[in-house]
Amino acid sequence: MKTAFAIGAHPDDIEIFMAGTLLLLRNAGYSIHYMTLADGCCGSTEHGRQVTAAIRREEGKRAAASVGATFHESLCHDLEIFYEPKTLARLASVVRSVAPDIILTHPPSDYMEDHTNTCRLVVSAAFARGMPNFVVDPPRRTTSGKVTIYHAQPFWNCDQLRRRVEPDIFVDVSEVEEQKVAMLAHHQSQKKWLDESQGHDSYLATLRQLDEEVGRMSGLFKYAEGWRRHLHLGFCGENDDPLRESLPNRVLPAAGI
């Protein structure tokens, strides 16, 4: 069985940016895995760090379980996702254990550093999957399998300098949009927090709004997720594109790609 691994920064990031594609891959026969590097401890104005992290861990576990995804524990606190050796060694150990064929993760530039640093860590962890001299924690055997990395759209489809980011690949998630919404609804603690901290009128409505915008960018789909494929060197074959191969009726390459 092939495996797809979604790795986000915070609890609810996978639901917002990646879950539609992950669900379609599950429906295509993939085993799916779910991990957020940070524990969500800063996502509340009502509870302390430990209580907030515990609440958000349970929400993430319920969301993953609701779609049959294997849940992996977080590695650090919010705003503490740094590109540093200890976190990289721990993440690389998980990547070796899962040995994914596809990794879905954040883009190289996004509106906050936790997302950007998650991307950097994921790419390096995948690159080191077959390096026996890179010590991981806990120790794991290397894996030599190919992996293709896809980067999701940044929040609001803009990089940190407000420049619009266009996907290379559009995935039609219209069929599973309500399942995405249901997954995000497990993160009940986030409605009040997001309304207060980032001005989201409703986090569930925001998810639909984002997917509608990418759908309009495609010129074809009602709801879509956008992806850019990472350079193949060190990861997979030059022409490997398992999203297109696995979801042939759901994928639209951007013009000129």
pLDDT in 10s for each residue of the chain, 257 residues: 999 999 999 999 999 999 999 999 999 999 999 999 999 999 888 899 999 999 999 999 999 999 999 999 999 999 999 999 999 999 999 999 999 999 999 999 999 999 999 999 999 999 999 999 999 999 999 999 999 999 999 999 999 999 999 999 999 999 999 999 999 989 988 766 566 555 555 778 889 999 999 999 999 999 999 999 999 999 999 999 999 999 999 999 987 67
Q: What is the dihedral of CA 40, 57, 16, 72, to 10 degrees?
A: 110
pLDDT confidence of residue 200: 54
Contacts of residue 106, Cβ cutoff 8 Å, sequence gap at least 6: 8, 9, 13, 17, 115, 116, 118, 119, 122, 151, 152, 154
> What residue type is assigned to position 10 of the chain?
H
Reduce the DSSP state of residue 230 to 3 states and report it. coil
Q: How far apart are CA 102 and CA 112, in angstroms?
A: 24
- What token pair was written down for 225? 């997720």
Q: How far apart are CA 138 and CA 183, in angstroms?
A: 30
Using alpha carbons, select from 98, 83, 107, 93 the residue that is nearest to residue 230.
Answer: 107
Using alpha carbons, select from 116, 135, 115 the residue that is nearest to residue 125.
Answer: 135
Using alpha carbons, select from 191, 234, 132 the residue that is nearest to residue 12.
Answer: 191
Query: Which regions of 146-229 does DSSP assign to beta strands (E)?
Result: 148-152, 169-172, 224-229
Residues belonging to the chain? 257
Q: Are strands 169-172 and 102-105 parallel, antiparallel or unpaired?
A: unpaired
CB 117 within 8 A of CB 6: no
- Residue 169: is it exposed, middle or buried by C-beta count within 10 angstroms (0-12/13-18/19+)? buried
Place of tokens 């026969």: 29
Q: How far apart are CA 37 and CA 114, in angstroms?
A: 9
Domains of the chain: 3-253 (3.40.50.10320)
